[in-house]
Structures are given as structure tokens and as C-alpha cells.
Amino acid sequence: MQTAYTRHQQFLAQLFDKDDYINAESSPEAAHIFATDASRVTGRDSALLAVVRPRTTEQLAELLRYAQEERIPIHPRAAATNVVGGCLPGVEPFVPCVPHTAAPEQTATQNISAATMPALFPAGIVVSMLHFNKILNISADDFTVQAEPCVVTGSLQKAVERQGLFYPPDPASLAMSTIGGNVSTCAGGMRAVKYGVTRDYVLGLSAVLAGGKILHCGGRCHKNVVGLDIARLFCGSEGTLGIITELTMKLLPLPEASATVLAGFNSMQEAISALAAVFRAGILPATMEFLGTQTLHCLALLESRHHLRWNNNVRAALIIRLDGGQKALIAEKARLSTVLSGSSVWQLEADTPAEEEALWELRRSINPASFLIAPHKMSDDITVPRGALHAALTRIDDIAAKHRLHILTFGHAGDGNIHVNIMHNATDKAELSRARTAKLEMMHSVLALGGTMSGEHGIGAVRMPFINEQLSSLERTLMQGIKKSFDPYGIMNPNKAY
């Protein structure tokens, strides 16, 4: 008798070309990478049935029809650069979900309870969407770009900039991450303080849902209030609602010029006060990055690489970029200088692209520099209301001192979003345990200040254990209900996100 396993493999082998289908059992070597992502957490290889790469929407629809019929988990994947395990197959349910054997109507009223947790989730199919990588249309009249989900964000930006257009969201991974992945995680970036995040640019999309239905929503209109905003519901949904096959994104006119200022301060408090003063003065920078004391210490270790001489009095710094019309920029920069001159002890200005690049290279070198302090890190991207930044950073410094750890703080302070790297040596059990405690304490402090545990990385699989710290049971029930209306049997990237 034919087993379900053979039936699935036969179906997939028929639906996909040889190069677009990996049987995880017969080619475990090729499939292994698909059990992980940039979170560095690896799922169970045995949780992987196959990897497929659809080329057409019809092919994808047929796959999702079959997967729903057979209750096979589906794990959408683009460049897999998320750091929270959003692409992992075989994540065991932390929060119990609908058992895959139950019909939707039977479970519709079921509350989330441990009793319904299936012992082992069945092996799933990773759907690599990388063949969907064409820019379909750039309209300089509509200020829109229409693209398939796996166009690399950096390439999309270059393509629109050639026509004097601008797609602002700039996650650090933009050279390799994709526009579809950016939408699924609602990626942010340094320019979010002025221009907002990915969500603010989604106008419309097409997606295939579990069961094979094809959804089209939104369009090229920059305003649209008819019904619920389904397109933006996909932002940050981490592949739990459907698989995006096409996106329409809003564009802006490309700013004529930009300039960057690096300002150093005596203390973290001085830096945060200066940040507030900049906004109060009516200046909205394109980026406003904060570097804490420990972060500057790391960068000083890398000094030879960036050729910057640190002023020894600098304990915290801001890197501020302004953009706009050439002439307006000169006036704006003068205003910024005036605001900063009150408190900063050191300033560096960059007006040419090459000079600016040198300063931003500094910002980018934080990650490699951090490993000069300790071999491992726990990385968080907490966000607090802008006014609570000082309180949050002070609390984090206290936690670091209490647990004798180096905790780096840096990032998009302009929108209250701080990257927190708890550096430690994981092979030292005691230190690892201190780091874990510090992480929890930090999270509780942030939530107590009205903050969020993630400003841009998302929840994925690795933060699910903490989800109840932030979301109420009502919120989670509503979210599960929304998912159910897209995906009645819960096959889409199960046990992640909410």
C-alpha cells in the first residue's frame, strides 16, 4: 500500500521540475540549509518533507490546494535573513494550535489550551519563492513599483532611483533580503524615523492562500479606505496568512542631497537630551542613530579599521543624516549644528557621499566589532516611546552592571528602537545563565515602560516563549481567529509569530 509519504513525494515530483524540488529524505545534504535561517537556530531535519521552488502562481496554488487537503505544513521562504527563526520547519507548538486533524467548524470556538497540543507536528514543505524575482512595473506617474516578492530590496531601490524615485525602507540586510520578506516581517531600517517602515509603503498585493485560492487586494491608489486593510495585514504576518506572489509599493520623489553629522557626548543622558532637542527644534532627520558607551568601546577596539580618532571624553554618540533639497539642506544643517553645539563635545560633518559612507561604515562595523568583547550574543531590538529612551537605557546599564555583563546598546534611537546585544561566553554555564536572566529582566523593564519586545525583527519561533509577556489573551485569540479565516487548518508556517 502506498504511504502518505510516497504519495506526497510523487505529487511534488510531478508538479515541479527536477531542479525545483528537493526530496529531503533522499537529498538531506541539499535540504539541510532549509531547516535554518539567520537566527542560527536549526529545526529538526526530520521536520522537512521537501523543498520546492514554484515558478508560477498556478503551480503555487496547486501546491497549497494539495497541502491543505493533506494537512501538510507550509514554510514560505525568501532569503531567510530574519534573525528570529521565522523560516524554521518543525517548530513544536509553544502555544497550542488547532490540531491538524480537526475540521475548522469543530474547532472554531476552541480556546487556546494545552490540552489540544499535538504531540508532534508533521513534516512540512519549505516553499522557496526565489524564482519570483522580477520587477514588473515602475510608474513614475503613479509613484508605484510593482514587483514579485523575491526582488532584492537593494536592487529595487537602485532601479527606482534611476528614475528619480525613492523607496525609503532600508533594513541592514537590504543587499540580500527581499521585498516580500521585508513585507512579511514589516522590516524597518535607519530611515524609519522620517519615512516609516515597510508597512507604510504597501499599497496592494496578490497572494495564494492555503487551499489554493488567489487573493488580490489594494492597488496603485495611495489612499484606500474601502473595507479592512488586508494588504497591510500581511505586514509582519511572517508567512502565517498566505504566500505573497506580487506586491505594489508606494514610492516617493528621490531627495536631491544628504549630509551626515557624527556628534559625541559626555554621557548617554547628554546624547538623549540632544536627540530630544533636535526634534523639539522642528528638525526631522532622515536617520538618527545612537551609539552607547559599550558600543563605542567596541568600535575603539576596531579603530585601525575606520581611521577615526576618538575623543576620549565621548561616552555616547549620535549619527544624524539629513536629506532634502540642496539649498534647504544647507539651512537645515546649520540649525542642527546650533542645536548640537550646546551639548556635544565633538562633531564630525560629512557632506560628500564618500565622507558620509565613512561614517555609516562605522555604524555597520558594530556587529563584527561586538565579537571582540565576547564570542556570543543575545540580540534584541526593543522599542520604547521616544520619551522613555533615557529610562530604558539607564535600566539596561544597571542590569549589565548587576549581572557583570557587557551589554551593547545602539540603533535607531530616533524612533525609540534600540538594539540590545547581551555579550557573553555561552560555553561558561554561569555566564550564560546570567545573560538569560538579564534578557528577561531587560524585557520586563521595557514592557513596564510601555515598550515592545521587538521593533523590527519580529517574533518568529525564537521569541514565541515570551509572547504572553506582551500580548493579552484576547489579542492572541483575535489574531488566531484572523489566521483561521485565511488558513482554516493552520498549515501556514505554524507555531510562529503570535
Partner 1 sequence: MQKAIVTSLSQNSKECILCGRCLAVCPAFLATEQEELSPRAKMHTLEAFARAVRSAQAAQNEQSTQNTKVTTNALATSALPAFSPQKLSALAELCVGCERCEKACPQGLSVPRLLADLRAAEPTWQQKLWKTWLTHMPLLWLGAQSITTYAPKLLPQALRPLLQSACVLHKDAGKRKNKEQGKGLNKEKNNAAPLFSYAPTNAVFFVKDAATKDAPMTSIAPSAVRPTAPRSLMLFSGCGARTVRPAWQKKALTLLQASGVNVLPEADFSCCGGSLEKAGAKDAARHAALHNIALWRASGKPTLVTFCASCRKALNDYALQENTADAQFWQSEEERDEWKACIVPLASFLNASDFTPILAATASASLSASSSASHVELQAELRAELQDNSLTNTAVCYHEPCHSAVLDNNNDADKTLLRALFAAPQAPAFFVHAGHCCGMGGIAQLSEPALCKKIAAHCWQHIQELATLETALTASPASSNVNANFTAPTAPNSRTSPNTASPLRVISSCSACVMQLAATAPQNIRVQHWLDIVLCPAEIRK
Which residues of this protein are in contact with partner 1, per CB under 8 A? 19, 22, 25, 27-34, 36-40, 42, 45-46, 51, 53, 55-56, 77, 79-81, 128, 130-131, 133-141, 148, 150, 152, 154, 159, 162-164, 173, 175-177, 367-368
**Dihedral sign of CA atoms 381, 409, 332, 261 in order:** negative
Pairing of strands 124-128, 48-52: parallel
Minimum gap (Å) between residue 361 Cβ and partner 1? 12
User: Toward partner 1, which CB reaches closer, 148 or 380?
Assistant: 148
C-beta closer to partner 1: residue 22 or 318: 22
CB of 187 vs partner 1, minimal distance in Å = 14
Minimum separation from the CB atom of position 46 to partner 1 (A): 7
Q: Which residues contact 254 (CB under 8 A, 6 or more apart)?
A: 160, 161, 164, 165, 166
Q: What are the DSSP E strand ranges found in 225-333?
A: 243-250, 252-253, 257-265, 287-291, 316-324
Q: How far is the CB of 380 from partner 1 (least distance, A)?
A: 17
With respect to partner 1, which residue has the nearer C-beta, 137 or 485?
137
| Least distance in angstroms from the C-beta of 162 to partner 1 | 7
Q: Minimum CB separation from partner 1 for residue 484, in Å?
A: 31
Nearest CA among 366, 449, 443, 365 for reference residue 408: 366
Nearest to 342 by CA among 391, 278, 294: 278
Selection from 93, 83, 90, 72 nearest residue 34 by Cα: 90
- 74 has which bridge partners? 125, 492
Decide whether 7 or 134 has the Cβ nearer to partner 1. Answer: 134
Residue 233: count of CB within 10 angstroms of its CB = 16
The residue (of 50 and 316) whose beta carbon lies closer to partner 1 is 50
- Judged by DSSP in three states, 312 sits in coil
Classify residue 482 by burial, with Cβ atoms within 10 Å: 0-12, 13-18, 19+. Answer: middle
Structural contact between residues 288 and 320, judged by C-beta atoms closer than 8 angstroms: yes
Shortest reach from residue 171's CB to partner 1, in Å: 12
Q: Residue 45 or 62: which CB sits closer to partner 1?
A: 45
CB of 178 vs partner 1, minimal distance in Å: 10
Angle at 192 between CA 188 and CA 193, to 5 degrees: 145
Query: Which residue reads 521540475 in cell numbers?
Result: 17
Q: Name the residue nearer to partner 1 (CB basis): 244 or 263.
A: 244
CA–CA gap between residue 491 and residue 104 (Å, rounded): 12
Task: Report the distance separating Cα 148 and Cα 178, nearest Å.
Answer: 10
Looking at the Cβ atoms of 138 and 340, the one nearer to partner 1 is 138
How many residues comprise the chain? 498
With respect to partner 1, which residue has the nearer C-beta, 52 or 320? Answer: 52
Cβ at position 131, least distance to partner 1 in Å: 5
Toward partner 1, which CB reaches closer, 301 or 440? 301
Nearer residue to partner 1 within complex by CB, 69 or 256: 256
Q: Residue 410 and residue 274: Cα distance in Å, rounded?
A: 16
Distances (CA, A) of 365 to 243, 268, 311, 357: 34, 20, 19, 12
CB of 208 to partner 1, least distance (A): 15
Closest separation in Å from C-beta 239 to partner 1? 16
Distance CA(396)–CA(405), nearest Å, equals: 11
Phi, psi angles (nearest 5°) of residue 152: -70, 135
